[in-house]
Structure 1
Amino acid sequence: MHGVDRAAAAFRDLLAPQAERNGQIVLVPEFDPDQFPSVHAYNFGGVRRPPPDNAVLPRDHWSFGVIDRLFHDVRRSIGSSRNSFGLFGNSAGAQFVLRYLALNEASSVDLAVAANCGCYMLPDLAKDYPDGMGGIGLDEAHLRRYLTRPLVILLGDADNDPDAPDLPRWDEAMAQGPHRLARGLWHFRHCTELARSLGVTLGWRLQIAPGAGHVDQLIYDQGADILNG
């Protein structure tokens, strides 16, 4: 899943070299800004209308369904016997990946990687979506399921610029840390503690990409290798 720049072709080209070495097929759906014009339509999955409306849209209007339809369409067209796929997103794409895992069955995903996310949705039913998981018909079973998903939080240890362009700076984002690396570390600790308090086994892992910045070939190569198992 590409970033906020919506540069799907460039994102594919960054992922392709390592994926080809691993024998993987890369699919990068493009969420065109004309059809998906805001963070609400792409990063947040089109679940609610943008403020001040904030109305929750019908589930069949959410953006997440594209992923499963694309996988099954390509699977049929190439005659593949695979019944599952790996999912990778960087930056805005990581926000999409995390919300996809939290709000959907995601039964065909065998492993997901969310890299260098700028702001994390909290597994909190008391906080309304998109900042939390409340107000959209979810319950504790959905929260527990989300925490048990097979997920890697991948962070570049050089993605630590508090003045980085496109770094989310609304209040909820700033409360998570001054930059993306700090926010990722904070979120993983928070969810580890939450899973323990709920008595569930956290399905997530944390990986650090040494020397990697925000948009960095090291991140894409490590992401492809993680999904290759």
Structure 2
Amino acid sequence: MAKRSSNNKIVRSKLDGLTLHVYKPSRKIEGLLVVLHGNSRNAADYCRSAMALADERALMVIAPHFDARRFPPSSYHRGNLVDRRQHPRPPSEWTTRFVPRIIEWGASRCEFSGIPVYLVGFSAGAQYLSRVAAFERLPGVVSIVIASPSSHVLPLLGLPPQGERVPYGMTGLVDDPETARQMLKAYLRRQITLYIGSEDDDPRDPLLTRNPAALRQGRDRLERAFFTYQTARTNAKRHGWTCNWRLIVEADIGHSPKRLLSPQRFTDVFAVAETADC
């Protein structure tokens, strides 16, 4: 049974062992917004931060809580795609599979079928969302905002230095080369916004991933955002494919969800084409 939270607006529900923090404006729902928390794992705060946008655009907000015990960085940030030996796990073990189930759960509680879906993740949640965007089918999703992650899934096939293995690239999950090409093509076609503050450039940030694969993307989050975006554009052009990615850099902001995901900026970031399907 859903439980009303202390602010009398957000309710808590359960789905496959996850606690979902849910907000529904009083008007007819016209879209679904899934918000993925950062390393602080404060899902309720992320839900509250999206309420103004939800009221303005008639969005139902769902902020799932991925607890640290069940979902350490390998399972949350990196999607549980590989084991400790970096061997691919079967798809049934990927934690990225939660997002399609969350979307289905939310859509079933809306008043019409085919409702547009928006996904946003910050920091650890953005790392997770990068893996979701690369490897999951996401019917109904019209916009994906990957905000300030420590690492990305590079839209590349092959091994370093030309490419990167999962979970930092797209090599290693499937054996068939044509299937891998089609996955890459679909990833580039998604409506993805890489969103970052201009001052999120501290290479000594204690929460910054510093393994070799992440460092090949850049010294800090800002460099990695630029590198990933340019990689997407260059690779799409080389193959003659569509690339629907964009990069937004907010001036004078560091690694701050309160500032980067303020109601005003939320509204601007989601002013994207709502007709493309992921």
Query: What TM-score do the two structures reach when normalised by structure 2?
Result: 0.75
In structure 1, the residue matched to 2:150 is 118
> 2:96–2:132: 8 Å Cα contact kept in structure 1?
yes
Structure 1 pair 74–145 and aligned structure 2 pair: CA distance change class (3 A)? closer
Q: 2:145 is paired with a residue of what secondary structure? A: strand
Given candidates 42, 45, 59, the residue that maps to 1:7 is 42
How far apart, CA to CA, are the structure 1 residues paired with 2:88 and 2:98?
18
11-20 vs 57-66, which deviates more? 11-20
Structure 1 pair 109–119 and aligned structure 2 pair: CA distance change class (3 A)? same
Structure 1 pair 164–24 and aligned structure 2 pair: CA distance change class (3 A)? same
> 2:156–2:235: 8 Å Cα contact kept in structure 1?
no
In structure 2, the residue matched to 1:24 is 59
Q: Does 1:226 align with 2:239?
A: no
Structure 1 pair 145–82 and aligned structure 2 pair: CA distance change class (3 A)? closer
Give the CA deviation at 1:60.
Answer: 2.1
| AA at the equivalent of 1:104 | E
Give the CA deviation at 1:74.
Answer: 2.5
Structure 1 pair 174–128 and aligned structure 2 pair: CA distance change class (3 A)? closer
Give the CA deviation at 1:98.
Answer: 1.6
| AA at the equivalent of 2:40 | D
1:150-189 equivalent positions in 2, closer than 5 A: 150-189=191-230
Q: Does 1:43 align with 2:77?
A: yes
Which has the higher relative contact order, 1 or 2, with Cα contacts under 8 A spaced 6 or more apart? 1
Q: Does 1:201 align with 2:238?
A: no
> 1:95–1:120: 8 Å Cα contact kept in structure 2?
yes
> 1:209–1:219: 8 Å Cα contact kept in structure 2?
yes
How many residue pairs get aligned? The number is 226
Cα shift readout 1:1-46 (whole Å, capped 9, x = no counterpart): 111222211222223233333332221111111211x222111112
More helix by share: 1
In structure 2, the residue matched to 1:136 is 173
Give the CA deviation at 1:176.
Answer: 2.1
- 5+ long unaligned stretches in structure 1: none
- Percent identity (aligned): 27
How far apart, CA to CA, are the structure 2 residues paired with 1:224 and 1:68?
24
Structure 1 pair 179–6 and aligned structure 2 pair: CA distance change class (3 A)? same
Cα shift readout 1:97-142 (whole Å, capped 9, x = no counterpart): 1211111121221111101111122222323211211111151111
More strand by share: 2
Cα shift readout 1:154-204 (whole Å, capped 9, x = no counterpart): 111121222223011112222222211111112111221111111112110
- In our comparison, the structure showing a higher alpha carbon Rg is 2
Query: What TM-score do the two structures reach when normalised by structure 1?
Result: 0.90
| AA at the equivalent of 2:52 | P
How far apart, CA to CA, are the structure 2 residues paired with 1:19 and 1:214?
23
- 5+ long unaligned stretches in structure 2: 1-35, 159-163, 273-278
